[in-house]
Structure 1
Amino acid sequence: MTEPQRLSRRLIEQVGCSRREAELYIEGGWVTVAGEVVDVPQFMVQDQPVALLEGAKAEAPEPVTLILHQGAQVDDRSALASITPASQAAEFDTGKRVLKGHFRRLQCLAPLQPGASGLQVFSQDWRTTRKLTVEFNKLEQEYLVEVTGTMRDGGLERLKRGITHKGVELPRVKCSWQNETHLRFALKAPEAGVFAQLCAAVGLTPLSMRRLRLGGVSMGKLPAGQWRYVTAQERF
């Protein structure tokens, strides 16, 4: 039995590449150990067969942005910890190779309304981080709010035109009934508690809130507690 050695060292010996090239091949998911992709250069191997996949490129993996269907009352740290290969939504699997490196240095970028569930964004891409940091308040957010009570006559139109509640002038919103118990709201830069105020202004009480969309990116039917990659075609 051979002595254990780092995967990167074994690859260097097998293909004659540099140490940096070996690390990039491995981190990019191009190296298998006993037929399984291993993307950790420090992984220890002995007699297992090591192979470099066809088409391998010694390039750093592209940074990724993920969407998580975050639960209500789940803080950002717990949400981040829940993002693992096992919690990827199978129905949104585009075939992109899931690498351990995709879960490093992720930043939570899109604060939810207090107590709300729904679309949350985590990214390691500086371009996405910059956009959501600089332009967050310019992006329209869409929330689905479960309500109880009876809406006052003309309530929807009053909400769309702008309404004052208890001396506070509330923002104009796009709103519509999804069904008899759920209202859709769309507005930019919603302040904490604004949906409770909007509902109260027309005789309703909110029971729950879920963010469905941020800018041009929609959560779709992403199951609660699961995540998906944001594709190159999507734009916040």
Structure 2
Amino acid sequence: MAKDTRLQKMLADCGVASRRKAEEMIQAGWVTVNGETAHIGDKVDPRRDRVAVKGRPVQARGKNVYIMLHKPRGYITTMSDEMGRRCVAELVKDIPERIYPVGRLDRESEGLLLMTNDGEFANKMVHPSMHVPKVYRVTIRPGITEDQLTQMSVGMEIDGEKTLPASVRVLEQQQGRVVLEIVLQQGRNRQIRKMCEQLGLEVARLKRIAMGPVKLGMLQPGQYRELTKEEIKGLLASARAHARRGAQLEPPPHGPRPSHRPGSSRRK
């Protein structure tokens, strides 16, 4: 039988970890195939080869599980932590399948977090070419100017690379406090916090309230629920649609017209 399945894909399909995390496991020497230490680029026959992670055999996955969790503040987006910090695994202990987070929210952020044991689904949700839109409600201090709103909208230079255009609008404005809705088309690490830091703004609260067609709704912190078939299909359709538009999202040399029009979104 031909060995035509990449090892990291097989591990993801079996619900061990995302492809990226599986690659890290392989590089760390945790994975063996038929008793031999595996390497990046290895291919396997899932029906015949004996694959193990840290000596534990990898079992074929049962049913696919897709959930949305309301991640509370103070939890890290991982299934274990050597430093003993609280992680999202503690919130889904009653789920028998081995699921893992799709993407991440940093420790002090909260809101919608997808989790699954379907490696292909997870890869489509986080792949840079997919641009699944993510909606955040962000409370900042002390306030924000029209110029700062425009900079966030058209894209900013972060870690040597310009961000894609974002939709930014003011939801609430009080003395020393502004609530924004920010829609990102990409998933760069701590993007909103880095944008705000660069503009001299303090992020008091950051909450993801939607991803594609899936909305957090009334789900309370620490609670989770299974995604419906319609939501799963909607997420995949959103990924495909935004992948087709991906090239159009790349900012031109002088930047696109801002999605925020000064003065148009402020509430009186």
TM-score range, shorter-chain basis? 0.5 to 0.7
Deviation at 1:178, TM superposition (A): 1.9
Query: Aligned in 2, Cα 1:165/1:127: closer, same or farther, shift over 3 Å?
Result: closer
- Paired with 2:129 and 2:65, the residues of 1 have a C-alpha distance of 19
Task: Confirm whether residue 120 of structure 1 aligns to residue 143 of structure 2.
Answer: no
Work out which of the residue numbers 191, 204, 207 in structure 2 matches 1:207.
Answer: 204
Name the structure 2 match of 1:179.
172
Deviations 1:179-217 (A, max 9, x none): 123111111224233223322455532112111122332
Cα distance in structure 2, aligned partners of 1:167 and 1:105:
37
Q: Aligned pair in 2 of structure 1 residues 142, 80: CA closer, same or farther (>3 Å)?
A: same
Aligned residues: 161
Displacement of 1:139 after TM fit? 1.6
1:65 matched residue in structure 2: 66
1:163: Cα distance to partner? 4.3
Distance in 1 of aligned mates of 2:128 and 2:164? 19
Provide the secondary structure at the position in 2 that maps to 1:138.
Answer: coil
User: Structure 1 pair 112/137, CA: closer, same or farther in 2 (3 Å)?
Assistant: farther
Q: Which residue of 1 aligns with 2:185?
A: 188
Gaps of 5+ in 1: 1-59, 86-101
Structure 2 residue ranges without an equivalent (≥5): 1-60, 80-86, 236-268
2:181 & 2:106 partners in 1: Cα distance? 15
Paired residue type of 1:141: K
- Decide whether aligned partners of structure 1 residues 115 and 216 sit closer, same or farther in structure 2, where only a CA change above 3 A counts: same
Per-residue deviation, 1:227 = 0.3
Contact 2:128/2:186 (<8 A) preserved? no
1:103 alignment partner in structure 2: 96
Counterpart of 2:223?
Answer: 226
Q: Distance in 1 between matches of 2:193 and 2:104?
A: 17
- Displacement of 1:129 in angstroms is 3.0
- 1:21-60 mapped onto 2 (5 Å cutoff): none
Could you tell me whether the CA contact under 8 Å between 2:126 and 2:187 is conserved in 1? no
TM-score, L = length of structure 2: 0.51
Name the TM-score, length of structure 1 as normaliser.
0.57
Over 3 Å counting, the alpha-carbon distance change for 1:61 and 1:229 in structure 2 is: same
Asked if the contact 2:65–2:97 (Cα under 8 Å) also holds between the matched residues in 1, the reply is no
Contact 1:163/1:201, CA 8 A, preserved across alignment: no
Please state how far the C-alpha of 1:224 moved relative to its aligned partner. 0.6
Q: 1:167 to 1:228 in 2, by over 3 A?
A: closer
1:150 and 2:143 equivalent? Answer: yes
C-alpha displacement of 1:219: 1.5
Amino acid corresponding to residue 227 of structure 1 in structure 2: Y
The verdict on how the C-alpha distance between 1:221 and 1:135 changes in structure 2, with shifts beyond 3 A counting, is farther
Counterpart secondary structure, 1:157: helix
- Name which one, 1 or 2, has greater alpha-carbon Rg: 1
Residue of structure 2 aligned with 1:131, choices 124, 128, 135: 124
The RMSD of aligned alpha carbons is 3.0
Question: Which amino acid is the alignment partner of residue 183 of structure 1?
Answer: L
Residues 164 and 186 in structure 2, CA contact (< 8 A), matched pair in contact too: no
Residue type of the partner of 1:185?
Answer: I
Q: Within 2, Cα distance between the matches of 1:166 and 1:189?
A: 15
Is the counterpart of residue 197 in structure 1 residue 194 in structure 2? yes
Shift of residue 171, structure 1, vs aligned partner:
4.0
1:132 and 1:172 mapped to 2: Cα distance? 19
